[in-house]
Structure 1
Amino acid sequence: MDKSTFEDRKVINGSMHASLKHDSAHKHVTGAADYIDDIPEPANLLHGALGLSDRAHAEILGMDLSAVSSYPGVVWVFTGKDVPGVNDVSSNGKHDEPLLTETLVEFHGQPMFAVIATSRDIARRAARLAKVEYRDLPHWSDIDGALANGGAVVYDPMTLKRGEPEIEMAKAQHRVKAQMRIGGQEHFYLESHIAMAVPGEDDEVIVWSSTQHPSEIQHIVGHVLNIPSNAVTVNVRRMGGGFGGKETQGNQFAALAAIAAKKLGRAVKFRPDRDEDMIATGKRHDFLVDYEVGFDDDGRIHAVDATYAARCGFSSDLSGPVTDRALFHADSSYFYPHVHLVSKPLKTHTVSNTAFRGFGGPQGMVGGERMIEEIAYALGKDPLEIRKLNFYGQPGSNRTLTPYHQEVEDNIIHRIVEELETSADYQARRKAIIEFNRGSRFIRKGIALTPVKFGISFTMTAFNQAGALVHVYQDGSIHLNHGGTEMGQGLYTKVAQVLADAFQVDIDRVKITATTTAKVPNTSATAASSGSDLNGMAAFDAARQIKERLVAFAAQKWNVEPSDIMFLPNRVRIGDKEIPFPDFINQAYFARVQLSAAGFYKTPDIHWDRKAGRGMPFFYFAYGASCTEVSIDTLTGEYLIDRTDILHDVGRSLNPAIDIGQVEGAFVQGMGWLTTEELWWDAKGRLRTHAPSTYKIPLASDRPKVFNVRLAEWSENPAATIGRSKAVGEPPFMLAISVLEALSMAVASVADYKICPRLDAPATPERVLMAVERLKEM
């Protein structure tokens, strides 16, 4: 049999590790890419709209929907009482998230009823005519309010502990105790949530959904309709962005569309307006971090004690795992000899927050980097010096154990940081910046070099599995389907490269088909940066099965040893002869060789005991570092990102062009989170930043003026991943922490770098100005 492996393949025009274009890039640019709203509409299509509450917390005493029902063009209005199955769309089995609330409103904008009409405009207009009688109840929309009102949680808190932090903190030469606020973030995907349901025979229904988790949509639709999963088919060709916002939040739109479609016997589409989408769907969790850190005269950390409280919203959603992952990354890249970390997933009267790129990891990491800042300013040292002093040690040292008791065995953060420090000329630039600040009255500069260490795997062990279906047709063309979803990140292209590489054929021989629950069942969400890892390996497994059959066929037909058979670019060598791949496949078909296989993969070696706070939740770590220089105006708080240099680890890249794009995009999105994207609820619990006019995502003009991005080409994942690659979706998001830290240094210059500015995120110009003024008064 062909002895080459997926680690050392070298193929023309289709291999892994080649910079191939995104399969839909030309369609994105020309507008030819079909999204759900571009699908030709079925005959007699109906449209749905949500009826939203205008209270943050209240009992529903009565709803008069007569004006809604009688509005011209309205076909049906339904409430939670009309749900055939269970009126719940919770993603975790806690049954705490009603599809349509019936008696109790728990956030402003909560869906109470749905309107089905002949047009989207009619449905939206009619929904506003409802007359609802409420009895108002006390409400709180932020972390402070939740803590002041008893601190109820939506999920059991988690504790991580190692060593004796209570005793050892008191022995530290220096101690700092403080607090940091870290804001949330709107996903702001280009394509809003959307679902279209088409009724079928008997109990069947087909749902097109913009979702990262087709199998969950399948389960939820079956749940609300009281039908088995085999009656529900969910299809996803592509999403116009997801970023975690479409992992669970698409449930309600798909469920509503399916209920109406089966009730009325007509196709139904739900596409909320941008304002409604932002009001009624969850966001990144904002955190309040209370921390205490003990350290010595050199800046070496001795003990850490921190509590990560999060605004979670009215229901649990994914808040438990999100706050867990915040604790998993509260160490950032640093070894804590003695550590105690606690999560507080707090209930608030706001929409339930949900997954967002990094899944709590960024918030945990920002808290860890703040503690490094505290030490540096307390001792009058360069924060990079403190960072390097506290990095996890190399394997074999006594500084490799995380707070959750997993050994860091693949540590390359030292090399990553040292290379970037040199290539970005950090030391000389920092010295020049300090000199510049001495002579500049109003403009101050800052520079920071920050690391990233991010764990890869779902912390729910069962989610670390994937399936793929591969068909090889008589003409040698290949059909690929897997459980991963495409949201612009290039997953389809990467997995197609894996398959083309396995068969040694050109990439254009592989047809990438829409994700569907009808082909690959029980899939996990495309999340946790594991899409390529899981689905790539599943596709490789399917190819392996087919190739084994082909090799057995060839060995028998041509009377050669399996070792004499080799797949070469677009041909197969059998002994001393070579046959074009299509001809070889055609002969295999006539010999009745099975040319289809279902592949499967599950991540090995991982396990996690949440109650004990111990285990190996991550298969490996991805690393990176970024160096950012900024300029601030101390009179207005305005700032510019002058330059950013990035060196990021993706192992042996499956597709360097796509991976660099992911790093660039993640950095800019992270920069937006930490600088301009501010969520604000008013005293009545209303989200006031609910549109592009009131919520500022980064513009092209906000990007670093000089932006240098490199991959660590020498890196190769020691874990047995597909092609020895590493995940790239989430880890580079945290590279943007260098922007916040650089702004902090610029502010600190006002007080000669002797005081930690304690700049909260997002560091809007207002916050930068207030921090400057605060330091001037000290």
Structure 2
Amino acid sequence: MEPQTTVAKPTEDGMEVYTASQWLDLPNVAIAECLKVPANSINIVIRRVGGSYGGKITRSCQTACAAALVTHLLGRTCRFVVPIEINLRMTGKRIPTNCKFEVGVNKEGEIQYLKNTFYQDNGYSPNETISPITVNHFFNCYDSKRWYVEANSVATDTPSNTWCRAPSSTEGIAMIEYIMERIAFTLGKDPLQVRLLNMAKENNPIPELIEQLKKDSNYEDRLVEVQKFNDNNRWRKRALKLIPMTYDLFYIGNYNSIISVFHIDGSIAIIHGGVEMGQGINTKAAQVCAYMLGAPLEKISVKPSSSFTSPNTMCTGASVGSECIAFATMKACEILLKRLEPIKEKMGKPSWEDLISKAYNAGIDLQASYMYSNNDGVKPYDICGTCALEVEVDILSGNHDVRRVDLLEDTGRSLSPIIDVAQIEGAFIMGLGYWTSEKTLYDAESGKMLTDRTWTYKPPGIKDIPADLRVYFRRNSTNPFGVLQSKATGEPALAMASVITHAFREALRAARLDAGYDDQWVDINYPCTVENIFTAVGHKLEHFKLK
């Protein structure tokens, strides 16, 4: 992935700064404050970012200011690239979370009271505190009227932690799903039935989605096949688990979009205040523009984002960047359509090129802009989903294979199905890496990070991708609150990846029963690395003696 990097070059009245950032406005503010110069002398330009996932929302300002300082003092172009080792040591990580809970249930597993106290490690400074939002996600899809949650943010002697894809939702949903599994195990109940028993009753589509996914994934028959496999295999065990998700999406602003139509051939240029970083924001903006104006998609080009054309914009994150840019683009198109309407009525059914030529000759302004803000009255909404995962664990080594994943998500009326499928797949697999291989280690004496390169820090690779990954959209879904009835897809699927931890536990439970252990709850240290899985099995020498 692209590291933290910036190129700054002098101009006649300031400088242009090309930085790998998710936020046009913040580097502009940071550099202006650092150099004590007017903000209008600093032009931040972002063509695209080569991967980010939250780590370039605020931390990109460090390299941007460093490069800008050199250019300011020396009057020369400066390129600043942070090596991966330094980047991993200084940037901070996803905020670690620990919880302690007490729960009372009736004999069926329905929660009578729940008290959850959790702690989140901000590092040495509280730059990005996510605890309040984590509380919201902890409720997930359940009836929380008798729940008490205490959130704590703590400071530790580690680098200041920061945003990472699906912050708060990953931690919140992981905590409550762990509790549901623990209730089911203690009572000897089916975990899925315990979850359904505790569901919120009003306006909750999750039970319907669960039934749909069970049917699509052949869930019941596969449970029987898993049990049969485990009965016939001592050293390889399988498990199939299913969890639900309700992702509470909220909007942030401001985001602008400028549409310029060129009279000579009807081609269109879009400049917006978002940042393309592989999530398809430019593609969605172009598709919305083509749909609204009735113009050919091939005539639309999305240009680099710039703080001169898009000042005062919010960061692209929280899954809403694409939606807000699409909204602003849609509104700008409506402005253009209103201007073109009198010309179009006189011409009948003209081609796009003829319409634009006629409008130009009539003196019609062929450029329009709109800025989405929280004043637009766009309402937040829930994104619901459910995921079933089947894993096979090699009990002798601790290695595992994800055999199949079935993931059903409510995408509303998808703006771009190919992009949305890719976003869901990518988010989920990123989550698998978080729960299975991405372990950070620090020297106990010096506090130095020991896992500062890909030789020691392991993101998921091609063999970690599920052998069979099936993504389903909720059938006939709409969203009255979304842009063109769509829903966001960038982050929610990652929050469902914790399902793999429950599948590991179930597979190890089967292995331990075969080894003669009592049926006890198995805790696996996170992340569920090869060594942590191997250790949790509880191997003894006598287990390997032939009888």
Into which bin does the TM-score normalised by the smaller protein fall? over 0.9
Aligned-pair CA distance for 1:605: 8.7
Distance 1:311 1:268, change over 3 A: same
Q: What's the counterpart of residue 340 of structure 2?
A: 550
2:5 aligned with 1:194, yes or no?
yes
Confirm whether residue 705 of structure 1 aligns to residue 467 of structure 2: yes
Aligned to 2:476: 714
Find the aligned partners of 2:487 and 2:254 in 1 and give their Cα distance. 16
Structure 2 SS opposite 1:718? coil
What residue identity is the alignment partner of 1:755?
Q
Unaligned runs of 5+ in 1: 1-189, 396-410, 559-573, 608-617
764-773 or 523-532, which deviates more: 764-773
Q: 1:579 to 1:606 in 2, by over 3 A?
A: closer
Give the deviation of 1:706 after TM superposition: 1.8
The answer (yes or no) to whether the contact 1:652–1:713 under 8 Å persists in 2 is: no
State the Cα distance separating 1:769 from its structure 2 match: 2.3
2:138 is paired with a residue of what secondary structure?
coil
What is the aligned counterpart of 1:773 among 531, 538, 541? 538
State the alpha-carbon separation in 2 of the partners of residues 670 and 230 from structure 1: 40
CA distance in 1, matches of 2:181, 2:521: 7
- Paired residue secondary structure (1:329): helix
Say whether the 8 Å CA contact 1:534–1:603 is kept in structure 2.
no
Q: TM-score under structure 2 normalisation?
A: 0.94
Alignment of 1:419 onto 2:212: yes
Distance 1:294 1:505 in 2: 60
Distance (whole Å) between structure 1 residues aligned to residue 476 and residue 207 of structure 2: 14
1:445 has 2:234 as partner: no
- In terms of Rg, which structure is larger? 1
Give 1:354's aligned residue. Answer: 162
Alpha carbons of structure 1 residues 394 and 774: separation in structure 2 relative to 1, 3 Å: farther
**Number of residue equivalences:** 536
Q: Tell me how far 1:663 sits from its aligned partner.
A: 1.0
Alpha-carbon distance between aligned partners in 2 of 1:209 and 1:514, rounded to the nearest angstrom: 12
Structure 2 residue aligned with 1:588: 359
C-alpha distance in structure 2 between counterparts of 1:389 and 1:428, whole Å: 23
Instruction: Render the CA deviation track for 1:320-361: whole Å, top value 9, x for unaligned.
Output: 2x2222211112222223122122221112111111110121
Question: Which one-letter code corresponds to 2:224 in the other structure?
Answer: K
- How far apart, in 1, do the equivalents of 2:116 and 2:243 lie? 21
Displacement after TM superposition at 1:600 (Å): 2.0
Q: Deviations over 1:391-410 (max 9, x none)?
A: 22233xxxxxxxxxxxxxxx
- The residue that corresponds to 1:93 in the other structure is none
Tell me, yes or no, if structure 1 residue 341 matches structure 2 residue 149.
yes
What is the alpha-carbon distance in structure 2 between the residues aligned to residue 705 and residue 697 of structure 1? 17
CA distance in 1, matches of 2:94, 2:268: 39
Selected match of 2:399 from 620, 634, 638: 638
Instruction: Judge conservation of contact 1:377–1:754 (CA < 8 Å) in 2.
Output: no
- What does the per-residue CA deviation read over 1:501-559, in whole Å, with 9 as the maximum and x for residues that have no partner? 1111111111110011111121111101001211100011111111111113445xx3x
* Of 255, 263, 271, the match for 1:466: 255
Q: Quick one: which of 663, 668, 680 aligns to 2:424?
A: 663
Tell me the amino acid that sits aligned with residue 262 of structure 2.
Y
Residue 649 of structure 1 and its aligned partner are, at CA, apart by 1.6
Q: Note if 1:691 corresponds to 2:472.
A: no
Which letter maps to 1:709? V
Q: Separation in 1 of the partners of 2:196 and 2:541?
A: 30
Q: Is the 8 A contact 2:412 2:477 kept in 1?
A: yes
Residue of structure 1 equivalent to 2:31: 221
Higher share in helix: 2
Alignment partner, residue 597 of structure 1: 368
Query: Structure 2 CA distance, aligned partners of 1:412 and 1:626?
Result: 14
Contact between 1:748 and 1:775, CA under 8 Å: does it hold in 2? no
Over the residues paired in the alignment, what is the CA RMSD in angstroms? Answer: 2.0
Separation in structure 1 between the aligned mates of residue 522 and residue 64 of structure 2, nearest angstrom? 46
Matched residues in 2 for 1:486 and 1:761: separation? Answer: 32
Amino acid at match of 1:673: Y
Taking the TM superposition and a 5 Å limit, the aligned residue runs for 1:47-196 are 190-196=1-7
Equivalent position to 1:625, from 386, 408, 416: 386
Aligned counterpart for 2:248 among listed residues 455, 462, 481: 455
CA deviation vs aligned residue, 1:579-628 (integer Å, no higher than 9, x gap): 11111111111111111111122346989xxxxxxxxxx70011111111
1:770: Cα distance to partner?
2.4
Maintained 8 Å contact 2:24/2:311: no
Contact 2:439–2:527 at 8 Å: present in 1 too?
Answer: yes
Mapped contact 2:385–2:407 kept (Cα < 8 A): yes
Q: Percent identity?
A: 31
Q: Which moved more, 1:384-393 or 1:243-252?
A: 384-393
Query: What TM-score, normalized by structure 1, do the two folds share?
Result: 0.67
Equivalent runs, 1:513-552 vs 2, <5 Å: 513-552=303-342
Tell me the CA shift for residue 379 of structure 1: 1.0
Cα distance per residue 1:734-764 (max 9 Å; x no partner) = 2212211111111222455943323342111
1:247 partner amino acid = I
1:612 paired residue number:
none
Q: CA deviation at 1:642?
A: 1.4
Mapped to 2, the partners of 1:503 and 1:776 lie a distance apart of 72
Deviation at 1:634, TM superposition (A): 2.6
Distance across 1 between alignment mates of 2:540 and 2:197: 28
